[in-house]
């Protein structure tokens, strides 16, 4: 059984989805790939322990604290490749950014191959089913372009500003 709960955040309403008391999804309302590939019916349940913990985590995060990802039991659904990319995202420090190219280089090492496509990594980053907590908003283009956030570039900017990330050299295409 899949359970759902909602969280009202400064960047919009958030849908939380859990299974077996683990968080499998966190989507900002109207974001691209909302609900991902989930086909099962969702039953609302605000008393699931994972939702209580996740909401406390989000409260701390939006208050400017730095909660640890390890405080939550996450189980994002995706291919092994995507899960490996999401694991790398979890290693990006709070308030810092990295590039798709850097993640691609790290993935190539993990896969023991010479080169990995930044576009393939971008697809995995874009399909991250646990936004904010698995910090895909911390990934930028090689030239500093703030691109590729399924929740919207405006929300990506707000999250980076909340984390007091160094925004010098980062830009959006207008």
pLDDT digits 0-9 by tens, 74-90: 999 999 999 999 999 99
Q: What is the pLDDT of residues 55-79, one digit of tens each?
A: 999 999 999 999 999 999 999 999 9
- What mean pLDDT comes out for the span 105-124? 95
| 137 lies in some domain | yes
Of 68, 61, 102, give the one whose Cα is nearest residue 85: 102
Our count of domains for the chain comes to: 2
| 43 lies in some domain | yes
pTM of the model: 0.94
Cβ atoms 67, 39 nearer than 8 A: no
User: In the predicted model, is pLDDT for residue 173 greater than 80?
Assistant: no
Residues labelled as active-site residues? 136
CATH number for the domain spanning 112: value is 1.10.10.10
pLDDT at 126: 92
DSSP state of 135: -
pLDDT at 101: 96
Q: Are residues 137 and 157 in the same domain?
A: yes
Average predicted confidence (pLDDT) for the chain: 94
pLDDT at 40: 86
User: In the predicted model, is pLDDT for residue 39 greater than 90?
Assistant: no
**Domain limits for position 40:** 2-71
Cα radius of gyration rounded to whole Å, the chain: 16
In terms of pLDDT, which residue wins out, 32 or 170?
A: 170
Q: Are residues 88 and 26 in the same domain?
A: no
CA angle at 9 for the pair 60 and 135, rounded to the nearest 5°: 65
pLDDT at 174: 61
User: In the predicted model, is pLDDT for residue 38 greater than 70?
Assistant: yes
Q: Are residues 118 and 151 in the same domain?
A: yes
pLDDT at 34: 81
Q: Are residues 84 and 155 in the same domain?
A: yes
Q: Are residues 50 and 19 in the same domain?
A: yes
The token duo for 70 is 């390890």
Q: Are residues 84 and 151 in the same domain?
A: yes
């Amino acid at each position: 059984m899949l359970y759902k709960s909602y969280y009202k955040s400064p960047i919009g309403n958030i849908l939380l989805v859990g299974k077996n008391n683990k968080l499998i999804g966190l989507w900002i309302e109207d974001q691209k790939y909302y609900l991902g590939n989930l086909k099962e019916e969702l039953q609302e349940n605000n008393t699931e322990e994972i939702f209580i913990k996740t909401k406390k985590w989000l409260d701390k995060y939006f208050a400017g604290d730095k909660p640890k990802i390890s405080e939550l039991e996450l189980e994002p659904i995706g291919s092994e490749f995507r899960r490996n990319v999401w694991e790398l995202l979890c290693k990006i420090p709070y308030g810092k950014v990295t590039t798709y190219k850097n993640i691609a280089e790290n993935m190539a090492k993990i896969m023991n191959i010479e080169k990995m496509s930044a576009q393939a990594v971008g697809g995995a980053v874009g399909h991250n089913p646990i936004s904010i907590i698995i910090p895909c908003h911390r990934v930028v283009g090689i030239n500093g372009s703030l691109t590729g956030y399924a929740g919207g570039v405006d929300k990506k900017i707000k999250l980076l500003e909340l984390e007091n990330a160094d925004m010098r050299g980062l830009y959006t295409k207008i």
